[in-house]
Amino acid sequence: MLRTAAILHDIGKVAISDIILKKPSTLTDVERKQIKLHTIHGARLFLRSNSAWDLYAAEVTLNHHEHWDGTGYPGKIPDILRSRIEEFGPGKRGKEIPLSARIVAITDTFDALVSKRAYKEPWAEEEVFRYLVEQKARFFDPELVEIFLAIKETIQAIRDKYIDTYSPELLEDHLRELGE
């Protein structure tokens, strides 16, 4: 369930304009808020189900940008099914954040930083590992960062195996096609 939920964690981005998602320059505050809403858009896709899998996917999708120190988003929202979310709630912190979302936060950050994006060049893996260490107990669960670092060789082997076949742009295009 975690693997599939992790793959779908950004599915809410299908509701965000490509003009914003692929913008090569700094986002405005309004654009940044639109992107942050992808957590809510995505979670809404899974909440109207009694399936354990759907509820797990909703949990990951909604919470993967929450930060260990409570500074993430979308925070505590009383009703994510409300037609308009005007502002985000106070952030979830520490173990208030579901374990599944804490795991995906680390892996998603790693992937985002080592990958080329329209707005940035890829970071070197060692740079990303240093960043995760620097941000543990701020953005990330410190214990999970240590576990992630303990399997560094496995992570590098997986990246080496799939480096030629993986493209975040292709995945985003595929997810967008599924949403249409």
CATH number for the domain harbouring residue 41: 1.10.3210.10
Using CA atoms, how far residue 54 sits from 9, 20, 27, 49, 175, in Å, is 12, 28, 32, 6, 17
Burial class (CB in 10 A: 0-12, 13-18, 19+), 103: buried
pLDDT of residue 48: 79
As a whole number of angstroms, the distance between CA 115 and CA 133 comes to: 19
133, 152 in Cβ contact below 8 A? no
For the chain, what is the domain count?
1
pTM of the complete model beyond 0.95:
no
Q: What is the rounded end-to-end Cα distance, in angstroms, of the chain?
A: 24
Full residue range of the structural domain in which residue 17 is found: 2-179
Averaged pLDDT score across all residues of the chain:
91
- Residue type, position 172, single letter: E
pLDDT per position as a tens digit, 95-127 = 999 999 999 999 999 999 999 888 889 999 999
141-21-174-10 Cα dihedral, nearest 10 degrees: 20
The percentage of residues in the chain with a pLDDT greater than 70, rounded to a whole number, is: 91
Range in 29-33, 46-50, 81-85, 127-131 with the lowest mean pLDDT: 46-50
Q: Residue 12: which residues within 8 A CB-CB, separation 6 or more?
A: 37, 38, 39, 40, 41, 42, 43, 44, 45, 61
